[in-house]
Amino acid sequence: MALIDLEGVTRSYRVGRGELKALKGITLTIEAGEFVAIMGPSGSGKSTLLQILGLLDRPTTGSYRLLGRDVSRLRDDEGAILRSKTIGFVFQLFNLLSRTSALDNVALPLIYAGAPDRARRSREALAQMGLEEWREHRPNELSGGQQQRVAIARSLVNRPRIIFADEPTGNVASDQAEEILSRLKLLNDTGITLILVTHDQDVAAHARRIIKLKDGLVVSDERRSVAKVGPSAPGPGAEEKLDLTRPRLSLAEFAEYGASAMRAMATNKLRSALSMLGIMIGVGAVIAMLAVGRGAQRAVEARIKSLGSNLVMLIPGSTSIGGVHGGAGSRSRLRAVDVKAISDIHHVLRAEGNVRGSGQVVYEDNNWSTSVYGASPLYAEMHAAQPYYGRFFTEDEDLRMARVALIGDTVVGNLFPDENPVGKIMKINQIDFKVIGLLPVKGSQGFNDQDDVVVIPLHTAMKRVLGRVYMDSIYVEADSGDSVPAVISDIERLMRRRHHLPDFKDDDFNLRNMSEIQAALSGTTETFTLLLGIVAAISLLVGGIGIMNIMLVSVTERTREIGLRKAVGAARRAILTQFLMEAAALSTAGGIIGILLGIAVSVGLSSLAGWAVVVTPSSVALAFAFSACVGVVFGFWPARRASLLSPIEALRYE
């Protein structure tokens, strides 16, 4: 069984509308351990033959048997496995990764083969080529001869059966050429089959067999008797069967992919920064917008909560449309007896009426226009308004129209900026009032500041300050949330009876369920948050398209690198994973910076604009995960395009 057996191999290429026949029926046999030189003028087909022998290309017709197995129709990944385990390449143009050290260039085939002891074997291969001291240098720091020796070390690091060399001395000086040929002959003396393509007769003279091609045909096959040094080449019987076992994806491969991604990003810093910019803005916008939406939702929830739980609000006037009824207060009136009657309804815990108006408050040289609430002592518990300092007024103070007041935080800041207001006397509409407590801070919503308020006893407000006869509203607290609908129904029947409304007339009052208002507002803010998130996510998608464009450019720029990686054994999976990791690295780096930007913007909106913002871990995790997914999704097509490239077409790319 010969090592290589070709029979009737042809290779044709489509050129425009015509067909170019590079090989026109090659039949030859190469035994294990031979040193073969393939010669011929330009266009004779010698490089095409070498590429087919090295599994970089496929014959159009004919058969190619390697160790007795037909390999002319192997799948791409099967060919990659053989190139990583059985075949080594020495290229005329060296084909070294420019941003990688000599040691890492040599280790590349070992990574794709899943071989152990990669670092040791790479150092040994470089030492064998006399380059041990140059292993950390990059290709641009080496001479042409040194670069070719690195390429030879890479070709033999996997202990291949065959080394293919394409014009290995074509780009080096004559003294370096002799050194390279001497090392190749030493490799052949150890039993490695060496197949060399050259147009130089002096180079071919070192071979033991010279095959000459012309116009795609073998015109001569000369065997020369040359003294051989070293062990004999192993015979065919000593050869094992071809190993097509696919190596498992190793940590070393992942490390190589990650290092390659970092090198690519570092080499094209501006382009990488612009790619990350879209993701960075998108992630920052997502976090900031979700923080604004969540803050608005929390503010609404806090505001509703401050009104109390299980509350029903009764206000005068009808909300019907059509001109039958006027606005609030134009028809019905709310009195203290209504409050008493409502308090007796089943499932009602308590009820309290209040009035509201505006007032000018003055303390010494400070004055402020604010809202004045007249309320009963039940207001504190029903509206979560227990003072954090001082006390609330009593029932007795309400009945005797005491001039006592509780003030909100905004009023405190404007009237008493530098002193404790409790116990001080201030004027409300030119009437003296004693401050007895400070209301809890409830915040503002839009233009409505809940802390810009003064609360005084109901009777005091109606008789002394606001001059009201009727109440503006009645708040009713049910004993549970489930009881609220029944309470509303009972209040409606009670008020229609008290106002003597016949069945054909609409209500002259309005009942509002605060729980329903809370649910509606919460739903609105959730929708608002979702819309903000969607708008921000659009910028992420734009950033993803930017990454896809950059990755397509990267694939085009690194086509030769892709061809090299495939030539030394990289399967489609390896190329796909490498470029996906690069796209993911770009989007992840942009995502991390975007998270910091989003948090900074949220803090700025909170401190400078006074907006309520809430940055939650879930929004950060969502934005980060989305950014990583954007990189993978938009990087998949360029990565797949790279993985489908033919190794020989990629190596030929200019």
CATH number of the domain where residue 172 is located = 3.40.50.300
Residues 482-491: contacts with CB within 8 Å, 24+ apart? Answer: 483/310, 483/347, 484/310, 484/312, 484/513, 484/515, 485/513, 486/346, 486/347, 487/312, 487/345, 487/347, 487/348, 488/312, 488/513, 490/345, 490/346, 490/347, 491/312, 491/314, 491/342, 491/345
> Poorest-confidence range of 180-189, 315-324, 572-581?
315-324
Beta bridge partners of 19: 14
Are the C-beta atoms of 189 and 229 separated by less than 8 Å?
A: yes
Q: Which of 376, 356, 360, 380 is nearest to 368 (CA)?
A: 360
Whose tokens are 């008797």? That residue is 225
Q: Are strands 366-375 and 453-457 parallel, antiparallel or unpaired?
A: parallel
pLDDT at 237 (0 to 100): 38
Query: Residue 508 domain-assigned?
Result: no
Range from 108-122, 303-317, 429-443, 602-616 that averages highest in pLDDT: 429-443
Alpha-carbon gap, residue 196 to 206, rounded angstroms: 10
Q: Which of 351, 340, 353 is nearest to 478 (CA)?
A: 351
Q: Which of 543, 550, 542 is nearest to 264 (CA)?
A: 550
Query: Residue 267 domain-assigned?
Result: yes
Are the C-beta atoms of 561 and 608 separated by less than 8 Å?
A: no
pTM: 0.59
Whose tokens are 């070390």? That residue is 153
pLDDT at 326 (0 to 100): 46
Alpha-carbon gap, residue 511 to 313, rounded angstroms: 6
pLDDT at 330 (0 to 100): 45
Are the C-beta atoms of 598 and 276 separated by less than 8 Å?
A: no
Return all residues near 120 (Cβ < 8 A) that are at least 6 apart.
Answer: none
Over range 204-231, report the average pLDDT: 79
515, exposed or middle or buried, with CB in 10 Å at 0-12, 13-18, 19+? Answer: middle
Assess whether pLDDT exceeds 90 at residue 408.
yes
The last residue of a domain, from among 210, 244, 278: 244
Alpha-carbon gap, residue 484 to 490, rounded angstroms: 10
Q: Which helix (H) or strand (E) holds 458?
A: helix 458-460
Q: Are strands 404-407 and 431-438 parallel, antiparallel or unpaired?
A: parallel
Q: Are strands 217-223 and 61-66 parallel, antiparallel or unpaired?
A: unpaired
In this structure, are 85 and 231 located in the same domain? Answer: yes
> Poorest-confidence range of 258-262, 334-338, 416-420, 535-539?
535-539
In this structure, are 279 and 240 located in the same domain? Answer: no
Question: Degrees (nearest 5) of the Cα angle 184, 189, 192?
Answer: 75
pLDDT interval class at 525 (50, 70, 90)? low
In this structure, are 492 and 552 located in the same domain? Answer: no
pLDDT at 232 (0 to 100): 43
pLDDT at 461 (0 to 100): 94
Q: Are strands 35-39 and 193-197 parallel, antiparallel or unpaired?
A: parallel
Number of H helices, E strands in the chain: 20, 22
Query: Residue 505 domain-assigned?
Result: no
pLDDT tens digits, 528-561: 667 766 766 676 677 777 777 777 777 787 788 8
Assess whether pLDDT exceeds 80 at residue 523.
no
Are the C-beta atoms of 565 and 653 separated by less than 8 Å?
A: no
Range from 192-196, 199-203, 620-624 that averages highest in pLDDT: 192-196
In this structure, are 226 and 352 located in the same domain? Answer: no
Q: Which of 442, 356, 460, 366 is nearest to 405 (CA)?
A: 460
Overall domain count for the chain: 3
Are the C-beta atoms of 213 and 39 separated by less than 8 Å?
A: yes
Assess whether pLDDT exceeds 80 at residue 599.
yes
Cα torsion 331, 332, 335, 338 to 10°: value is 180
Question: Mean pLDDT score of the chain, rounded to an integer?
Answer: 82
Q: Which of 451, 478, 449 is nearest to 314 (CA)?
A: 478
Query: Which one-letter DSSP state was computed for residue 592?
Result: H
The length of the chain in residues reads 654
Helix (H, G, I), strand (E, B), or coil: what is residue 310?
Answer: coil
pLDDT at 500 (0 to 100): 86
In this structure, are 77 and 159 located in the same domain? Answer: yes
pLDDT at 404 (0 to 100): 96
pLDDT at 566 (0 to 100): 83
Over range 184-192, report the average pLDDT: 86
- Residue 439 main-chain phi, psi, to 5 deg: -70, 150
Range of the domain at 476: 333-498
Over range 434-446, report the average pLDDT: 83
Q: Which of 339, 592, 566, 369 is nearest to 470 (CA)?
A: 339
Assess whether pLDDT exceeds 80 at residue 55.
yes
pLDDT at 265 (0 to 100): 74
pLDDT tens digits, 242-298: 666 666 666 766 777 777 777 777 777 777 787 778 778 878 877 887 787 777 767
Are the C-beta atoms of 33 and 205 separated by less than 8 Å?
A: no
pLDDT interval class at 124 (50, 70, 90)? confident
In this structure, are 356 and 436 located in the same domain? Answer: yes
pLDDT interval class at 239 (50, 70, 90)? very low
Return all residues near 225 (Cβ < 8 A) that are at least 6 apart.
Answer: 208
In this structure, are 226 and 269 located in the same domain? Answer: no
Range from 10-24, 248-262, 313-327 that averages highest in pLDDT: 10-24
In this structure, are 276 and 422 located in the same domain? Answer: no
In this structure, are 358 and 471 located in the same domain? Answer: yes
The last residue of a domain, from among 464, 498, 532: 498
In this structure, are 121 and 183 located in the same domain? Answer: yes
pLDDT at 410 (0 to 100): 93
Alpha-carbon gap, residue 499 to 492, rounded angstroms: 11
Q: Which helix (H) or strand (E) holds 207?
A: none
223 CB neighbour count, 10 Å cutoff: 12
pLDDT tens digits, 492-513: 999 988 888 888 888 888 888 7
For residue 337, give both structure tokens.
């007896």
Assess whether pLDDT exceeds 80 at residue 592.
yes
Assess whether pLDDT exceeds 50 at residue 327.
no
Alpha-carbon gap, residue 181 to 198, rounded angstroms: 12
> CA 249 → CA 125, 160, 253, 581, distances in Å?
24, 21, 7, 14
In this structure, are 451 and 563 located in the same domain? Answer: no
The last residue of a domain, from among 466, 498, 530: 498
Q: What is the largest CA-CA distance in the chain?
A: 131
552, exposed or middle or buried, with CB in 10 Å at 0-12, 13-18, 19+? Answer: middle
Are the C-beta atoms of 13 and 45 separated by less than 8 Å?
A: no
In this structure, are 342 and 473 located in the same domain? Answer: yes
Query: Residue 471 domain-assigned?
Result: yes
Query: Residue 323 domain-assigned?
Result: no
Over range 483-488, report the average pLDDT: 88
Higher pLDDT, 370 or 292: 370
Are the C-beta atoms of 387 and 510 separated by less than 8 Å?
A: no
